[in-house]
Amino acid sequence: MNRIYLQIKDIWDVAGMELSRIFHDGGVVLLFCVATLLYPLIFAFVYKNECVRELPIAVVDDSQSVESRRFAHKLDATPEIIVTFRCNNIEEARVLMQQRLINGIVYFPRDYGTKIAEMQTARACLFCDMSSFLYYRSVLSSTSAVLLDEMQFIEAERYERAGMTGESTQQMVQPIRVDDVKLYVPNGGFTSFLVPALLVLVLQQTLFLGMCVLYGTSRQQRQVKKSIPLRLQRGGLLFRVTFGRAMAYFLIYFPMAIINLILLTRLFNLPHIGNPVHVILFIIPFLLAAIFFCMTICSFVRNRDAGIVVFIFFSIILIFISGAIWPQCNMPRFWLLFSYIFPSTHGINGFIRINSMGATLDQVKFEFLILIIQTIVYFFTASGALHILLRFRIGQQHDVSESLQPQQH
């Protein structure tokens, strides 16, 4: 019993020392407490509108037919785009596009109405602004919807001319009724699609960046050994140091995770149909895996600024290989296996399935198990990295003392 008490006391002493180091460094406090909450708020406010609405487009109507005017009128009625300019030729519309006054051009050739009247295939051209995916998506989807509606209208009109009316015409035009139901993201918005993944990634990345600053400062100021109680600097006791430090980070980041992943999703009305208890239970192995992973990497950081370069370089990569933007089934095998190194990959997938898709812990047991395995593996790698770092420091001090001995004689 006394041994267990001493182990718990050692772990708590290390956690207290680590918390003291954290709250005595303003940069680390800023990253751990302010940036972790500020980044999700910025993302949620920037993408609050979910979808792009009323994008200006130009219509070039060389046909001047009833059909082309009806098509343009339907385009103007969609919520995504608005016909702002009606140009006399395509060159005039191109100038407007170059001046960034419009985000798309719809062009009707001179024979558009004639070919429809002659029951031939007519052609209309769409030019989209590809400078932003949201511009392209909104213009293309709304134009495609109008095109399908116009095709059904023209087909029904032709059947009526052939003597078919009423329900028989509707059955010929649309023999199977298709209802478009957007599962889990009913409004099809960008915020509901991307921000939940960013909420998880922010936890890992701010933790990594803050620990880089903390560990880099210790190495720059040669205080690596001072941050560990003297009685625990032996190899067999370093597991207590690793666990104590992890406890300090967990005590800070667990409330942050609750705020980001549960409260903010409800505050900004992001998808949150999952059970909050399952979200909390899933957060625990993710945070522990992320903490031990960051401890392993940051043990080799030499200065405060080194983590910034890694943070900027890997943030975009991690969001792509997580599978939230591009499906993992279409990834090359190398990148799929590479993504398994990072806790954020399975943290993002598991959180989205629980929170946005209503899955239970049993349904995300693969991600949950991978995070537990990562927690165990990175715990030992973090302890090993700390052992190597201490031996390196002791070796350096021994070399320095030997080099000074001849000078003293």
Average pLDDT, the chain: 84
Q: Which CATH superfamily is domain 55-173 in?
A: abc type-2 transporter like domain (3.40.1710.10)
Other CB atoms within 10 Å distance of the CB of residue 162: 9
Please report the pLDDT score of residue 327 as a whole number.
84
- pLDDT over 80 (residue 368): yes
Q: pLDDT-derived band of residue 60, with 50, 70 and 90 as boundaries?
A: very high
- pLDDT over 70 (residue 198): yes
Does residue 172 or residue 126 have the better pLDDT? 126
- pLDDT over 70 (residue 229): no
Residue 331: phi and psi, rounded to 5, are -85, 150
CA 302, 305, 307, 310 dihedral sign is negative
Please report the pLDDT score of residue 27 as a whole number.
86
User: How far lies 373's CA from each of 35, 170, 214, 334, 370, in Å?
Assistant: 29, 58, 26, 20, 5
**Three-state secondary structure call for residue 197:** helix
Domain ranges of the chain: 8-47+187-393, 55-173
- Provide CB contacts within 8 A for 77, sequence distance 6+: none
Name the one residue in this structure whose structure tokens are 């936890």: 203
Residue 302: phi and psi, rounded to 5, are -95, -25
Please report the pLDDT score of residue 163 as a whole number.
73
Please report the pLDDT score of residue 223 as a whole number.
61
- pLDDT over 80 (residue 258): yes
Contact 346, 371 (CB under 8 A): yes
Spatial separation of the C-alpha atoms in residues 92 and 74, rounded to whole Å: 22
Please report the pLDDT score of residue 281 as a whole number.
95
Mean pLDDT of 157-182: 73
SS3 percent helix, strand, coil of the chain, rounded to 5, is 70, 5, 25
**Three-state secondary structure call for residue 233:** coil
Q: pLDDT-derived band of residue 366, with 50, 70 and 90 as boundaries?
A: very high
Please report the pLDDT score of residue 298 as a whole number.
87
What Rg, from alpha-carbon coordinates, does the chain have? Answer: 30
Mean pLDDT of 337-348: 94
Among 22-26, 205-209, 276-280, 368-372, name the one with the lowest average pLDDT. Answer: 22-26
Q: pLDDT-derived band of residue 307, with 50, 70 and 90 as boundaries?
A: confident
Among 81-90, 151-160, 178-187, 375-384, name the one with the lowest average pLDDT. Answer: 178-187
Percentage of the chain lying above the pLDDT 70 cut:
89
Q: Can you read off the two tokens belonging to residue 177?
A: 């009724």
Residue type, 124: A
Please report the pLDDT score of residue 348 as a whole number.
94
Mean pLDDT of 12-37: 88
Does residue 62 or residue 181 have the better pLDDT? 62
Mean pLDDT of 50-79: 90
